[in-house]
Amino acid sequence: MRRAKITIIGAGNVGATAAHWVASKDLGDVVLVDVVQGVPQGKCLDLTETAPLEDIDVTLVGTNDYAETANSDVIIVTAGLARKPGMSRDDLLLRNAEVVSEVVRSSTQHSPDAFVIVVTNPLDAMCHVALKASGFPSHRVVGMAGLLDSSRFRAFIGMELKVSVEDIVAFVMGGHGDQMVPLPRLSSVGGIPLTTLLAPERIEALVQRTRMAGGEIVALLKTGSAYYSPSASAVRMAAAYINDRRRVIPCSALLSGQYGIDGLYIGVPILLGGKGVEQIFEIELNQDELAAMQRSADAVGELVEVLNKHGY
Ligand code: TXD
């Protein structure tokens, strides 16, 4: 059987760590691409030299040439600038649109059947850029954000209740940014509603921390943004596709009327399997939650308008 081939574009913190997760999970062969000469090659060589220690057989190739990515099953897009302290995700918009457009066009030419996972910020807007640059159907272009945001929410609930994160389901929808929509009402611990386990003000504090979790790490690191959990989330999504896991997870997907939103990428629960986005779940939201989704969609819509004006 042919091994899965996973192209990761951007050999920075998220991209290189994603390569590490792919290798450590033996998920498939990796091609790591960057504009910077030597860095993807050096990082892949270093990872290759861990293979004897970790007892893994994956091949890792670092390159600056998209020809090497040909016939990839999955393309993970992390190329771009990371947020600096004080910089909003939206400041990155046009700079990263240029990068994402270029790298998606170059990579999808060589892998016309690939599943594209966008990681670069501002996330939901970059999904639009990737969709257009690839010309792919929308079920093969998704964004990674909700899985990370819900993992952060789960981690914070676990820390608060001192219980295993394994038993925690935390629900986060909406755009990736300050407008995300964590839903405590649909979150639970071992099947017990979160709202019966914690006081409303504690839940609100955890929700706020989840909203600001990316910024919390930027403020601590000072020279970059989070990368362990973002890369792990992207690789989980790649695994769901490659192994046809049919997982139900939040991802940024193109909506066509669900939640009253049409033609915008936004975080929603999807069924992620071997065909990509196989279903978008439209769950019942109360009025406040729907309004929060709409605010989130408006924020994404504004960015998409700017992108459209600039030809992306
Ligand atoms: O939840 C999420 N979606 C995110 C998104 C969570 C964390 C990080 N998120 C975003 O991912 C972040 O805001 C950035 O937009 C990307 C990548 O973050 P990372 O921390 O990996 O940034 P780095 O370390 O600066 O790496 C970016 C790499 C770097 O090696 C550049 O040389 C490369 O991208 N780069 C390119 N590669 C190929 N082609 C082009 N044109 C290019 N431009 C830059």
pLDDT in tens, 90-100: 678 999 999 99
| Location of structure tokens 């999904």 | 127
Residue having the nearest C-alpha atom to atom 22 of ligand 1: 82
| Ligand 1: centre distance to CA 306 (Å) | 21
| Ligand 1: centre distance to CA 91 (Å) | 14
Q: Which of 68, 69, 121, 178 to mutate to test the pocket of ligand 1 (most atoms within 8 A of CB)?
A: 121
pLDDT of residue 148: 97
Is 0.95 topped by the overall pTM?
Answer: yes
pLDDT of residue 60: 97
Q: Do the beta carbons of residue 124 and residue 143 sit within 8 Å?
A: yes
Determine the Cα–Cα distance for residues 172 and 156; give it in Å rounded to an integer.
13
Q: Do the beta carbons of residue 145 and residue 194 sit within 8 Å?
A: no
Please give the number of the atom of ligand 1 that sits closest to the Cα of 83.
13
Please give the number of the atom of ligand 1 that sits closest to the Cα of 89.
13
pLDDT in tens, 130-154: 999 999 999 999 999 999 999 999 9
pLDDT band at 2 (very low <50, low <70, confident <90, very high): confident
Cα 78 to chain centroid distance, Å, stands at: 9
Phi then psi for residue 187, to 5 deg, are: -100, 150
| Ligand 1: centre distance to CA 81 (Å) | 5
Determine the Cα–Cα distance for residues 270 and 282; give it in Å rounded to an integer.
9
Q: Which residues line ligand 1 (CB under 6 A)?
A: 9-15, 33-36, 78-83, 96, 99, 102-103, 119-121, 123, 144-145, 148, 176, 224-227, 230
Average pLDDT of every residue of the chain: 95
The 3-class SS string of the chain reads CCCCEEEEECCCHHHHHHHHHHHHCCCCEEEEECCCCCHHHHHHHHHHCCHHHHCCCCCEEEECCHHHHCCCCEEEECCCCCCCCCCCHHHHHHHHHHHHHHHHHHHHHHCCCCEEEECCCCHHHHHHHHHHHHCCCHHHEEECCHHHHHHHHHHHHHHHHCCCHHHEECCEEECCCCCCEECHHHCEECCEEHHHCCCHHHHHHHHHHHHCHHHHHHHHHCCCCCCHHHHHHHHHHHHHHHCCCCEEEEEEEEEECHHHCEEEEEEEEEEEECCEEEEECCCCCCHHHHHHHHHHHHHHHHHHHHHHHCCC
pLDDT band at 83 (very low <50, low <70, confident <90, very high): low
pLDDT of residue 90: 63
pLDDT of residue 81: 85
Q: Which of 148, 225, 227, 251 to mutate to test the pocket of ligand 1 (most atoms within 8 A of CB)?
A: 225
176 is catalytic: yes
* Strand 29-33 versus strand 115-118 pairing type: unpaired
Q: Which of 69, 81, 265 to mutate to test the pocket of ligand 1 (most atoms within 8 A of CB)?
A: 81
pLDDT of residue 89: 61
pLDDT in tens, 288-310: 999 999 999 999 999 999 999 99
Q: Do the beta carbons of residue 216 and residue 205 sit within 8 Å?
A: no
Please give the number of the atom of ligand 1 that sits closest to the Cα of 224.
20
